[in-house]
A and B are shown apart, each in its own frame.
Chain A
């Protein structure tokens, strides 16, 4: 998994400009976080994470960086997280009413990256279920990861079912 952190101008179409070099160089995008609340000088921090084919990783990364520079996109950090571990879990409860974006950001702040998210619900304010696939650092145990998720679940009265 490749993690990219950039700053994008808060103007329409800038996100598309970020995605283009990633997808044109074989990046399979797993997630994007757009931190509107952290805007500084009209620039928004954006995290994007994607997969690249193992054999082409070096070339692809070089081309993605080049593409971003050509578009004057400010690259803050790029990291290859191939050693990270993945856990799938389901949250059930008022997942949306309790601010799912905040849930994702809380996980992100602990270096737990949400790679995939699927939801099932009937009404937005009814009980819903969300499946998340997260990547967590090699030095974090499953037990520690579960504790972090459990903390959020306890606070937001969500029910956790993990793999």
Chain B
């Protein structure tokens, strides 16, 4: 791969993240060619009900003009599945962005395994396969001499995972993070407005910050999954979500927030990785602490041995944010394959 100027990719899942990725790819096409010396050729797009496969490269202009053009295309095949066709494709990188079951990791897990079994590098924005089966995926990737990248799974475009290569001369001793924008928004509103949890949640739903079923967020499962991935990557562990002690935010009351405030604290839903322990729970944080961020932002604080605390803050969700992380992964895979 990448010895010439063309990198062939397939996209599995053309939802919000997948579509944003294609838009970004189109926008950055010239930039990638000039700065990184390769062209990206999209040869397949898989959806739940079929696939568009064109070995000459799919016309992004036409496709992005109208999503319906996907199924109107002459190369569209109905009722075919990615896991059945990945082995038949001549591609270098498989990009996986399907909606995935948080408890099983499917169908993303199968797509990832299938791609790796066929010696195809993988980029994914799906958390579940990695917080459930991190070791299995990494072992297979190593065995097949493949690269697997998943920057978008933790805090989206905030370089939480890729910062590792910038800290190889240092030692990270602890991670403290706010990895769920919904929860941070709810707690911020409860603290500033004195509203109850249910009122703040409803507001978050109306603004589109929380899902109709917010249970994965408010019960801490989403943060726990991200913490597992981040800790495995930064500490070299092979843990799964079952190793995390998880507490959500549903039992936090306005009274608790008032008491915290009286003593100079705020309550934040923290994801903490320290001394081989993984914890997601509400914690009292000093009001003037850098962890006291507002709204839907994400934050990752890395306590390091030689440089103290290093903090990353940014938007942890959104289609283009995830898309930018995927594109980053794509460029880094190409660079690595070229020996950089």
Contact = CB atoms under 8 A, between A and B. Distances in A.
Nearest to B250: A159
A41 interface: no
Given A131-B263, A159-B251, A90 B283 contact: no
Contacts of A90: 256, 259-260, 267, 284
B265 interface: yes
Contact of B284 (A93, A118, A161): A161
Interface string B285-329: 110000000000000000000000000000000000000000000
Contacts of B283: 161-163
A39 to B, nearest CB: 33
A89 B285 CA distance: 11
Nearest to A121: B255
A118 B267 contact: no
A161 B263 contact: no
Nearest to A159: B251
B263 A92 contact: no
A131 B259 contact: yes
Contact of B263 (A88, A129, A159): A88
B168 interface: no
Interface in B217-253: 247, 251-253
A129 B252 CA distance: 9
Given A92-B251, A92-B252, A92-B253, A163 B258 contact: no
Max count, chain B CB within 10 A of own CB: residue among A89, A118, A163: A163
Contacts of B18: none
Nearest to B260: A90
B207 interface: no
B263 A118 contact: yes
B262 interface: yes
B284 A163 contact: yes
B258 A120 contact: yes
A88 B262 CA distance: 12
Interface string A114-152: 000011110000011111010000000000000000000
A121 B259 CA distance: 11
Max count, chain B CB within 10 A of own CB: residue among A88, A119, A162: A88
Max count, chain A CB within 10 A of own CB: residue among B253, B259, B284, B286: B259
B258 A88 contact: no
Interface in B34-69: none
A131 B260 contact: yes
B256 A129 contact: yes
B291 to A, nearest CB: 11
Contacts of B259: 90, 118-120, 129-131
Nearest to B259: A131
A161 B253 contact: no
B252 A131 contact: no
Nearest to B262: A118
Contacts of B282: 161
B265 A129 contact: no
Nearest to B281: A161
A161 B255 contact: no
A133 B284 CA distance: 12
Max count, chain B CB within 10 A of own CB: residue among A90, A159, A161: A161
A92 B255 contact: yes
A25 to B, nearest CB: 27
13 contacts: A90-B256, A118-B262, A120-B255, A120-B256, A121-B255, A129-B253, A129-B255, A129-B259, A161-B256, A161-B260, A161-B283, A163-B284, A163-B285
Interface of A: 88-90, 92-93, 118-121, 127-131, 133, 159, 161-163
List of 10 A-B pairs having minimum Cβ-Cβ separation, nearest first:
A120-B255, A129-B255, A163-B284, A131-B259, A159-B251, A129-B256, A161-B282, A90-B256, A92-B256, A129-B259
Given A90-B259, A161-B267, A163-B286, 11 more contacts: A92-B253, A92-B255, A93-B251, A118-B263, A120-B256, A121-B255, A128-B255, A129-B258, A161-B252, A163-B265, A163-B283
